[in-house]
Structure 1
Amino acid sequence: MLAGVLYALVAGLMWGLVFVAPQMLPEYPAALLSVGRYLAFGLIALPLAWVDRAGLRDLSRADWLEALKLAAVGNLLYYLCLAGAIQRAGGPLPTMLIGTLPVVIAICANLRDHQRDGRLPWLRLLPSLLLIAVGIACVNSVELDALRRDSGVDLGRYVSGALLACLAVACWTWYPLRNADWLRDHPGRSPRTWATAQGVATLPLALLGFVLLNLLPGAGDSGFAMPLGPQPVRFLLLMAAIGLFASWLGTLCWNEASQRLPTALVGQLIVFETLAALAYAYLWRSEFPAWLTLLGVLLLVAGVLWALRVKPELVAAEGHAG
């Protein structure tokens, strides 16, 4: 249990980095940030794949197809939606909506996986879910109040950012549940090998996306300097950093946590990503959070700790022999 929680914490710290990148490169299209990040992830995975070639050879065609699906939805599509949401609605709203993932995933996993993992009693789980939800509301209320006071906000752009953030939530509700299915169905396989396989599967998708972005009519007509933009060195270094730390290391740590913890519990530990993203955002702004934000952080942590005290109850097999 402790090892699983620590792995989930490190994954959250790594994944929080991806919320800062769109704010550091606001002039870059979300699609370019997405394919750039995962091109870096795929290239980083190649030497790792050579080291782990024996484990990768054991993967079947069905396994590689699953890795491709996870890469397309949980990597490229998720980050395309998230980066676009942050650039359109600012950091607070997307962080708030992504922060609902612990609640959304816990509910979905408890409904779907109770036969495999045991059922977390709803009445005992409810206080932790409420603490997390109230904590997320507190953390974001200060930011949203400031945003409402800004008369220059484009409502249409803001709404489109909210919709993109909701799509990102959908992608990352599907991804950890589907990823946990594969890991739990293959307990003898290395989480490191599976993380590397997803990186290898991501590379051709990201490469195709990068080529299409550069071939699209009018790609350079907006004054944006394709293919690397107006800050090529910063772009390359940032993509390499989040490709290594957020994509590969974060996925590896999450896989380790997914093999050790019930899906309903590991889903709630995504709250670490929200906390890390908020911390990095305030560091980037050189601001100290308001007291209501700090209260929200404490509620989030309390909700996670409460959830870890809830033990799954075995469920009798459904159906009877005829």
Structure 2
Amino acid sequence: MKASLLQGVLSALGAGLVWGLAFVVPIMLPDYPPTLLAFGRYLAFGVIALALALRRLAPLRALSGRDWLVALELTLVGNLLYYLCLASAIQTVGAALPTMTIGTLPVVIAVVANLQQNSLPWKKLLPALAVIASGLLLVHRHELRATGIPAAAMGRGVALAFGALLCWTWYPIRNARWLKMRPGLSAANWSTAQGLAMLPLALVGFALIGPIGLPEAFPWPLGPRPAIYLGLMLATGLFASWLGTLFWNRASALLPTALSGQLIVFETLSALGYAFLWQGRWPTPDVAVGIALLVLGVLLGVRTCRGASV
């Protein structure tokens, strides 16, 4: 294996390992509402971005007003709204189903691109989509039976998971298009700009929206376990937001797009592994089969799209 290929794969693995942390935090803090988890995480990300920006002011000052508006748009949908939906879904139906739903991202992006460009016959994508759907349905059926979650709550959790998937599908497509329009904009500076754009939004949201709907006994603002909450918010802000982006930018630069798309599966497998470790259990046979079908479907889908302009 070439050194650049090995470095790219290891970078993608690193991104998946740190991104997976964001999926287990809602399980570790079940008594904290998703609003506090989302605003807390991105407030930490914004503070980290501010510290980085103070060391590299010149390239950020060169950004246009339109750049900052797009950065705000991207971070609002691809970060804040995405994590609100994801954390809500995980706290409603557990980690397995939302995590697997997000794991379909490589194929969903290919489908969206194909809808826009119509460059690949749909019959070639159908086998991968059918395998993915089978895996999701298998896990959905197990979670519905084993957890005793009411059907209405399960439906709400599934809808939230697909909402998160839509946000995370839109984000990379929109982000890539803007970067292509701005070839002189480095990925590192752009990531920092998005963190800075998030900072005032997260600060206002934490102060004004975070307290809404909290139980009277909930100790605002840091909750019943302030040290653990602060530690996890800083960890997700530093690792899942900043370091994960750094790893993924490196992997994207070193690997072919078709290969890097497949390696997003590392995020799904890491998130599921963390969740099962935290809960102290192994996946049941039908959940394990569902996970295997998801991975197989994603690999089939990306292989089908290889060489196509999607």
TM-score class normalised by the smaller sequence: 0.7 to 0.9
State the 1:313 CA deviation: 4.0
Structure 1 counterpart SS, 2:216: coil
For the 8 Å contact 1:96–1:140, the answer to whether it is kept is no
Q: Does 1:167 align with 2:163?
A: yes
Residue by residue over 1:130-175, the C-alpha shift from the partner in whole angstroms, topping out at 9 and shown as x without a partner, is: 444444445555434312xx2xx34443333232222212211211
State the 1:89 CA deviation: 2.2
RMSD (CA atoms): 3.0
Residue equivalent to 1:243: 237
Equivalent-residue separation in structure 2 for 1:46 and 1:314 (angstroms) = 37
What amino acid is the match of 1:84? S
Q: Does 1:253 align with 2:253?
A: no
Residue equivalent to 2:218: 224
Equivalent-residue separation in structure 1 for 2:258 and 2:133 (angstroms) = 16
Q: Does 1:270 align with 2:264?
A: yes
Q: Does 1:17 align with 2:12?
A: no
- Normalised TM-score (structure 1): 0.82
Q: Does 1:179 align with 2:175?
A: yes
For the 8 Å contact 2:128–2:298, the answer to whether it is kept is yes
Residue equivalent to 2:205: 209
Equivalent-residue separation in structure 2 for 1:305 and 1:160 (angstroms) = 29
Residue equivalent to 1:190: 186
Q: Which runs of 5+ in 2 are unaligned?
A: none
Match of 1:69 among 50, 65, 73: 73
Aligned residues: 305
What amino acid is the match of 1:273? E
Structure 1 counterpart SS, 2:54: helix
Q: Does 1:31 align with 2:35?
A: yes
Equivalent-residue separation in structure 2 for 1:137 and 1:102 (angstroms) = 19
Match of 2:195 among 192, 199, 223: 199
**Which consecutive segments of 4 or more residues in structure 1 shift more than 6 A?**
260-265
Quickly say closer, same or farther: Cα 1:134–1:268, change in 2 above 3 A. farther
Q: Does 1:49 align with 2:44?
A: no
Structure 2 counterpart SS, 1:20: helix
Structure 1 counterpart SS, 2:109: helix
Q: Does 1:312 align with 2:282?
A: no
Equivalent-residue separation in structure 1 for 2:205 and 2:121 (angstroms) = 44
Q: Which moved more, 1:300-309 or 1:245-254?
A: 300-309
Residue equivalent to 1:319: none
Residue equivalent to 2:105: 101
Q: Does 1:60 align with 2:72?
A: no
Equivalent-residue separation in structure 1 for 2:101 and 2:211 (angstroms) = 33
Quickly say closer, same or farther: Cα 1:298–1:164, change in 2 above 3 A. closer
What amino acid is the match of 2:145? D
Residue by residue over 1:20-54, the C-alpha shift from the partner in whole angstroms, topping out at 9 and shown as x without a partner, is: 11111111111011100001111111121123323
Structure 2 counterpart SS, 1:51: coil
Quickly say closer, same or farther: Cα 1:144–1:106, change in 2 above 3 A. farther
Equivalent-residue separation in structure 2 for 1:223 and 1:79 (angstroms) = 25
For the 8 Å contact 1:106–1:263, the answer to whether it is kept is no
Equivalent-residue separation in structure 1 for 2:309 and 2:38 (angstroms) = 41
Structure 1 counterpart SS, 2:209: helix
Residue equivalent to 1:143: 143
Quickly say closer, same or farther: Cα 1:215–1:121, change in 2 above 3 A. closer
For the 8 Å contact 1:105–1:267, the answer to whether it is kept is no
Quickly say closer, same or farther: Cα 1:53–1:93, change in 2 above 3 A. same
